[in-house]
Amino acid sequence: MLRAIILFVAALALSAPAHAYDNTVSRGLADFLNIFSEQAIPRQIVPWRGQYAPGTIVISTSQRRLFYVLGNGQAIRYGVGVGRQGFSWSGTKIVTRKREWPDWRPPAQMLKRRPDLPRYMPGGIDNPLGARALYLGSSLYRIHGSNEPDTIGAAVSSGCIRMTNRDVADLYDRVRTGTQVVVLR
How does the average pLDDT of the chain come out, rounded? 84
Domain boundaries, position 29: 2-35
Per the structure, the count of domains in the chain is 2
Query: Are 27 and 55 found together in one domain?
Result: no
For 45-97, write each residue's pLDDT tens digit. 999 998 999 999 999 999 999 999 999 999 999 999 999 998 999 999 999 99
Look up the CATH number of the domain holding residue 153: 2.40.440.10
Query: Are 22 and 105 found together in one domain?
Result: no
Query: Are 23 and 91 found together in one domain?
Result: no
Q: What is the pLDDT of residue 147?
A: 86
Residue 18 binned pLDDT confidence (cut-offs 50, 70, 90): very low
17-21 contacts at long range (C-beta below 8 A, 24 or more positions apart)? 18/122, 18/123, 18/124, 19/122, 21/101, 21/122, 21/123, 21/124, 21/125
Query: Are 15 and 55 found together in one domain?
Result: no
Mean pLDDT of 114-124: 93
Rounded CA-CA distance 147/89 in Å is 23
Query: Are 102 and 71 found together in one domain?
Result: yes
Query: Are 52 and 99 found together in one domain?
Result: yes
pTM: 0.79
13 is a catalytic site residue:
no
Query: Are 177 and 102 found together in one domain?
Result: yes
Query: Are 88 and 141 found together in one domain?
Result: yes
144 is a catalytic site residue:
yes
Query: Are 16 and 93 found together in one domain?
Result: no
Mean pLDDT of 156-173: 95
Query: Are 48 and 96 found together in one domain?
Result: yes
Choosing from 40, 59, 134, 160, the catalytic residue is 160
Choosing from 132, 142, 144, 166, the catalytic residue is 144
Query: Are 152 and 85 found together in one domain?
Result: yes
Residue 180 CB-half CA count within 13 A: 12
Query: Are 172 and 94 found together in one domain?
Result: yes
